Amino acid sequence: MWLPDRRTLLLSLAALAGCGFTPVYGPQGGGGALLNAVALSEPDDRYDYDFNARFEERLGRGAGPYALDVTISTGVTGLGSLADGQTTRYRLTGRADYVLSPAGSEEALIAGRTDAFTSYSATGSTAATQAAERDAKRRLMVILADQVIDRLLLDADALPQ
**Residues near 73 by beta carbon (within 8 Å), at least 6 away in sequence:** 94, 95
Q: Which residues contact 8 (CB under 8 A, 6 or more apart)?
A: none
What pLDDT score does 23 carry? 74
Q: What is the pLDDT of residue 82?
A: 85
CA distances, 14 to each of 7, 11, 21 (Å)? 10, 5, 10
Contacts of 97 (CB under 8 A, 6+ apart): 70, 71, 111, 112, 113
Model pLDDT, residue 3: 55
CATH superfamily of 30-158: Lipoprotein like domain (3.30.160.150)
- Report the alpha-carbon distance of residue 128 to residue 131 in Å, rounded: 5
pTM: 0.84
Specify the DSSP element, H or E, that contains 126. Answer: helix 126-155
The span from the CA of 116 to the CA of 118, in Å, is 7
161 residues of the chain, pLDDT tens digit each: 455 677 776 767 666 665 666 777 777 777 788 999 999 999 999 999 999 999 999 999 878 899 999 999 999 999 888 888 889 999 999 999 999 999 988 899 999 999 999 999 998 899 999 999 999 999 999 999 999 999 999 998 888 86
The partner residues of 92 in beta bridges, in order of sequence, read 76, 118
Terminal-residue alpha carbon distance, the chain? 51
- Return the pLDDT at 151: 96
What residue ranges do the domains of the chain occupy? 30-158
Residue 7: per-residue pLDDT: 74
